[in-house]
Homo-oligomer: A and B are copies of this chain.
Amino acid sequence: MTHILSAEQFSKKDLLQLFEAAKKLQKAKAITQTMKGKILATVFLEPSTRTKLSFESAMLRLGGQVISIPNAESSSLQKGESIADTARMVSTFSDIIAMRTGEKGQVAEFSKTSKVPVINAGDGTGEHPTQHLLDFYTIWKERGTLDGLTLGLMGDCKNSRVLRGMAKMAALFDMKLVFIAPEEVQVESDIQQYLLERKREFKMANSLTNVIKHLDVLEINRIRHEYFADKERAMKIGKQFILNRITVMKGKKNLIVLDPLPRVNTVQEDVDALPQAKYFQAVENGLYVRMALINQLLA
């Protein structure tokens, strides 16, 4: 039994197999009943509509069913039940679990006493591996490969689980990385070390303008004011890190712009109509990646 907990657990081969399976499902428009008789439990102790609906829709489109603990308020955790007991209980009633929580490490803890596979759908500042899967699947579908590309990661490179995880997963491929962040939240030594150990090239920039023309992919994530001592500077920086149409037009014609969404001070709406904007397509791609992943885990 395999749990999906971290960006680090995948091999290059794992990803390419998964993407081929997702592509097949997407081509077939998901006419399949592989999960008939199986139940997915969604345990979202913190709200995340997009991710929750994506997993639920994926399971239903595979012919399976869904049960759900909608939020912390109505869960037995509120009555003081331990994570271990909650995992025993939920895994008694389901065949696979997607779990979201605000607390780093809690999904891994949950998985220890689960009797069925658990997918980490975000654990605070920890991990959110299926977000990377859908982003990399989107790149792979657009370009046909993941090697030889330059990936820009823009925003809070220090704290964002999306940007940190993307960097780690990128290290599986022959990718160059550019971290675009203000110095307060620039990528830290742990991720740098991770890349160096895997002999991957990267550089740092504090502005997109100078580097955009080199990028094949740009993933953007928002600057959070809470990490800045100087709130005025945070506000100013936040504005500079919003992506607009003019900037995108300075990049390559086939640049792929990604955003995990919901967007709050990341991509401006005037970018939406550009062919470079792939963040909506990535949401749809995510459905098929999650279908493929569920199929794989319960095969």
**Cβ contact within 8 Å between B65 and A39:** no
Q: Which residue of B lies closest to A284 (CB)?
A: B92
* Distance to closest chain B CB from A34 (angstroms): 13
Do A261 and B47 form a contact, CB below 8 Å, given A74-B70, A93-B54? Answer: no
Residue on B with the closest CB to A53?
Answer: B93
Q: Are B53 and A37 in contact, CB atoms less than 8 angstroms apart? A: no
- Tallying the copies of this chain within the complex gives 3
CA gap between A264 and B85 in the complex, in Å: 11
Residue A262 is within 8 A (CB to CB) of chain B in the complex: yes
Asked if A53 and B67 sit within 8 Å, CB to CB, the answer is yes
Distance from A9 Cβ to chain B, minimum over Cβ atoms (Å)? 26
A259-282 at interface with B (beta carbon < 8 Å): 261-264, 269, 280
Chain A residues with CB under 8 Å of chain B are 31, 37, 39, 41, 44, 47-50, 53-54, 56-57, 60-61, 65-67, 69-71, 73-76, 78-82, 84-86, 88-90, 92-94, 261-264, 269, 280, 283-284, 287
4 other contacts beyond A57-B67, A80-B262, A81-B261, with CB at 8 A cut-off?
A41-B53, A50-B89, A88-B283, A92-B284
